[in-house]
Amino acid sequence: MSSFSKLAAVLCTLGFQLPEAFAARQPYDVRKIIDVFRHPHDDLTILCAHRGLKWNGTTENSRDAYFRATEAGLECIETDIHLSLDGHLPMIHDGGLGRTTDVGEQTGQPAYNPFTGQGYNPLVSEHNFTGFIENLHLRDEQGRVHVETVPTLPEMVQSIYATGANVVLQLDFKEQAAVEPAYWALKNLTNRAGVPANEWCIYKLQAKWWKNPAEFEALEWVQDAFASGIQLAYIPVYNPEDEASWDTLTSLKEFASTNYTISAEIEVYSTGAPLQPLQDYIVHNGTEQDTFRTSGIFYAAGDLVDFITSDLTRFDTANYTIPDDIHTNNSVFVFQENKAPALLDSLVGNKSLDGHDYRSDFDWIIKQGFQWVITDIADVWDAELRAQGKRNTTELSRPQVASVFENVAATDDIQDFGWTAELNDNTPWTGDAFSNYTNIPPAAPNININPDLVTDLIADINTEISRRANFEPSMLVDNSLLLRPRKWRSIESSMTSRMMLGDILTYPEMLINGLGLPPFISSPCCGDELKCQEAGSHQCLPQPLVACASIIRMLQTNSPDNRAFIWRTIYMEQQKLLHEHEFYEKETLIAAVQAAVLYTILHIEEVASIPKHYVRSLLITVGTMTFSMMNVRDMDYCHQTDEVPTRHEVTSFCYALNELLHIAKIPSSGNGGGPCRRVHLPSTRSLWTAKSNLEWQRQYAKQLSKRQLRDCYRIAHLREYAKYSGDSSAVKSWATDLDDWCLDHDELGTLIWMATKLDPV
């Protein structure tokens, strides 16, 4: 039996539904790519496709070029970003629009020609994106105009999400003013795996802009990233001219001691030239305290390419003669904005000791010890490095489940894989909710199996799944404390917590009794479905909640002797949710989180009698799926089935539950609110009185118009509001903006407000 077949058998016996993705080639894990940027690998040189995999008729900095790069297996794309006059972030390399767009044709001006430097070449920074730049079509290296228009950075990230690509971006900002707007524009975006864009979009900034960590960390957007728990990835770029102006080596050493700096770009032009001490430090002299030991460089392949089309569809070179060999005197030609192309060596000056720019020399870059390279011909580099044994990209991939099993299989502890984990002929499987368990055999054979081994295997797999959602199982308290009440500093908090817990324990039964639902669940039918009214309970719930309702009914009707079976059933169901949730549609994912939260509530009163690994596994599932749900994009606004407020309701309830019980090591009230402070507050009561989509949208817009905040109401705002409530001298101008919410909150809002007032030890 193959290793993969063995693993599949193990997982099936435990109630897992193996996702189809496990059977296919695994995509890259962007967090692993970031980690590899930090650490040198003898068998791997990271490649960054310069402006995407362009040329051969593909326009640079285009969706097509980025898609081609990811399809070619490239793990990183270096992109160019400007700031338009109206504050957008168009992805264009040059300061002008002429070379890469049809701005001349669209405005009736002479088209810009990069071979002569003549023609209409207006600056990006002096024109609006809206209504002008957004309508310009991209031009390829031959001068041909394509249908694709100029993208913005957020649009490109959304395209990466849409295609499911797993790639990191190096954000090369052409102006300092564009950096902070980019952070805010990306803050609520993710890739398909749910990883925040600000964690896999590497901020590759000119080191001269912020010369040391103190200057960088003082920036408002950096402070926000730290406060929000965003794991920034930063790369300072050192250029030869920097060395004469300030202490670049000290700067490098200081950034090497920070946890957010993942590498450095060191543009040294020749051996012994300016910046050589920085490269020597990285390769030979770094300390054990440094958080990275790598550096990267730009490989200058030149800008001229062999023309492949007729004179009618390419740039008119006019009086510029393209050389027979675009590699002349061991140098290459590059475009100069508003000038004719020139040999790279003619532009070097004192940046090189011998007048030659060695950045166009493949072998020199490798010998210098650079661990990652930005290049226009990343596909060519990939082939060459593979031939040298330096493109072992397995380190970048999510671990395949089969490969995890290899270590287990080698122990020979598992002889057979028909184990059914305590199920037998008398197991009362009822309801359509459990139809997916029909593959489980009716009885457990007598086999030789090490349960601890299987538990460890499952734990390893669960941990990897959790990390893809940005949830670390290490956030949870020790097993002995899980779901136990927290201790309080005051009698008031103790009484408040008892009131909260009393209400919360009634929520599971609400799912099966009548048309009322727990306050963090909104019914899809809005109470209008005839079938639901006739049945006296909701028949419209998504599948995860249907399964949950069946289990709750089992819990009500079964005797204490069958409790063990029910806890095992919940364990299997939540494991199924964990392993499948990445493939759910938005509505199903939200329902899965709601079901897992209800399972958690069921465990509270009997937690002492439930196996500890059941409880821990359940809370890992809740945390992982909640993090995934919080990062889901494209939530459309509609009536009461709207996912955005529903998502806010369940995440804010999780905040309250963590305040009340030992779940995370630090309650949300600790550390300024912890990760939960980003959670949106649930909507007010008045929003849910709407009887139509149009009325709902009007009410929602009305509420938004009252807000003075940059973002929606969040837990952090409510916590801060609690400090100023009733204080007429409060200087926080936004504090009064929450008055309406506090006056109009519903049952869940009351629970959240009570949780905010708790003071756990």
Q: What does the pLDDT read at residue 757?
A: 82
In this prediction, residue 584 has a pLDDT band, given cuts at 50, 70 and 90, of confident
Report the pLDDT value the prediction gives residue 674, as an integer from 0 to 100. 46
Question: Which of the residue ranges 311-320, 442-451, 627-636, 746-755 would you say has the lowest mean pLDDT?
Answer: 442-451
Is residue 132, in this structure, part of any structural domain at all?
Answer: yes
Q: Does residue 366 surpass a pLDDT of 90?
A: yes
Top-confidence residue, 717 or 313: 717
Residue 356 domain flag: yes
136 is a domain residue: yes
H or E element at residue 617: helix 612-630
* CB-based contact 166:67 (threshold 8 Å): no
Band of residue 645 on the pLDDT scale cut at 50, 70, 90: low
| CATH number where 163 lies | 3.20.20.190
Whether pLDDT at 314 is above 70: no
Quote the pLDDT of residue 695: 60
Q: Return the pLDDT at 302.
A: 80
Instruction: List the beta bridge partners of residue 201.
Output: 169
- Expressed in angstroms, the distance from the first to the final Cα of the chain is 53
**Average pLDDT over every residue of 114-131:** 92
Weakest-pLDDT range from 626-635, 654-663, 726-735, 742-751: 726-735
243 and 357 assigned to the same domain: yes
- Name the domain boundary from 452, 483, 498: 452
Round to whole Å and give the CA distance between 565 and 574. 14
Element (H, E) at 35: helix 30-38
Spatial contact of 173 and 182, defined as CB atoms under 8 Å apart: yes
Structure tokens belonging to residue 395: 């380190």
Report the sign of the C-alpha dihedral through residues 55, 58, 60, 66, in that order: negative
Segments in 320-450 forming alpha helices (H): 362-367, 378-387, 401-409
The answer to whether residues 280 and 414 belong to one domain is no
The answer on 225 and 95 residing in a single domain is yes
Tell me the sheet residues that pair with 47.
373
- Residue 677: partners with Cβ closer than 8 Å, 6 or more residues away: 227, 668, 714, 715, 716, 719
For 758, phi then psi, to 5°, come to: -70, 155
pLDDT value, residue 184: 94
Domain boundary among 396, 428, 460: 396
Residue 692 or residue 196, greater confidence: 196
- Residue 51: pLDDT above 90? yes
Inform me whether the pLDDT recorded for 342 exceeds 90. Answer: no
Same domain flag for 142 and 130: yes
- Using the predicted structure, report yes or no on whether residue 646 has a pLDDT greater than 60: yes
| Residues 444, 499 within the same domain | no
Do residue 378 and residue 493 come from a single domain?
no
Mean pLDDT in residue range 674-689:
59
pLDDT at 11: 39
Q: With bands split at pLDDT 50, 70 and 90, how would you rate the model's confidence at 561?
A: low
Residue 464 lies in a domain: no
User: Confidence band (pLDDT; 50, 70, 90) for 459?
Assistant: confident
Beta bridge partners of 265: 237, 296
Pick 268 or 613 by higher pLDDT. 268
Same domain, 437 and 345: no
Of 134, 130, 124, 135, which is closest to residue 99 (Cα–Cα)? 124
Q: What is the pLDDT of residue 44?
A: 95
> Do residues 402 and 548 share a domain?
no
Q: How many CB atoms lie within 10 A of CB 193?
A: 22
Q: Compute the residue count for the chain.
A: 761
Residues 244 and 300 in one domain: yes
- pLDDT, average across residues 16-28: 40
Same domain, 409 and 516: no
pLDDT at 723: 63
Least confident segment among 63-67, 217-221, 353-357, 743-747: 743-747
Q: State mean pLDDT over 382-402.
A: 79
What pLDDT, in 10s, does the model give residues 275-304? 999 999 999 998 888 889 999 999 988 876
The verdict on residue 619 lying in a domain is yes
256 CB-side CA count, 13 A:
24
User: Does residue 463 sit within a domain?
Assistant: no
What would the two tokens of residue 96 be?
A: 């002008």
Does the pLDDT of residue 690 top 80, yes or no? no
Do 538 and 637 belong to one domain?
Answer: yes
**Is residue 173 located within the same domain as residue 314?**
yes
Residue of 312, 332, 315 whose CA lies nearest to 323: 332
Residue 178 or 719, more confident: 178
Between 440 and 578, whose confidence is greater? 578
pLDDT category, 478, cuts 50, 70, 90? confident
Q: Is the pLDDT of residue 345 over 70?
A: yes
Give 722's pLDDT tier (boundaries 50, 70, 90).
low
pLDDT at 365 > cutoff 50: yes
Q: How confident is the model at residue 736 (pLDDT cuts 50, 70, 90)?
A: low
| Residue-level pLDDT at 443 | 40
- Mean of pLDDT values over 29-38: 93
* Number of domains present in the structure of the chain: 3
What confidence score (pLDDT) does residue 25 get? 31
CA atoms of 88 and 323, how far apart (whole Å):
39
Mean pLDDT value across residues 566-570: 88
**229, pLDDT greater than 90:** no
Q: Is the pLDDT of residue 696 over 90?
A: no
What percentage of the chain carries pLDDT values higher than 70? 71
Q: How many CA atoms, within 13 angstroms, populate the side-chain half-sphere of residue 117?
A: 9
Residue 316 structural domain? 27-396
Between 494 and 310, whose confidence is greater?
Answer: 494
Q: Comparing 128-137, 140-149, 435-444, 553-562, which segment has the lowest mean pLDDT? A: 435-444
Residue 594 predicted with pLDDT over 70: yes
The confidence score (pLDDT) of residue 515 equals: 73
Strand 76-81 to 168-173 pairing: parallel
- Residue ranges with strand state E in 38-108: 46-50, 76-81
Whole-number pLDDT of residue 470: 73
Domain assignment present for 325 = yes
420 close to 443: Cβ distance less than 8 angstroms: yes
Q: Mean pLDDT across the stretch 207-225?
A: 95
pLDDT tens-digit readout, 528-555: 556 676 766 777 788 899 889 989 988 8
Name, in order, each residue with C-beta under 8 angstroms of 699's C-beta and a sequence gap of 6 or more: 686, 687, 689, 690
Does 676 map to a domain?
yes
- What burial letters (b/e) apply to 13-25, b meaning 16+ CB within 10 Å? bbbbbeeeebeee
372: three-class secondary structure by DSSP: strand
Averaged pLDDT, 482-493:
90
What mean pLDDT do residues 457-478 have?
77
* Mean predicted lDDT score pLDDT of the chain: 78
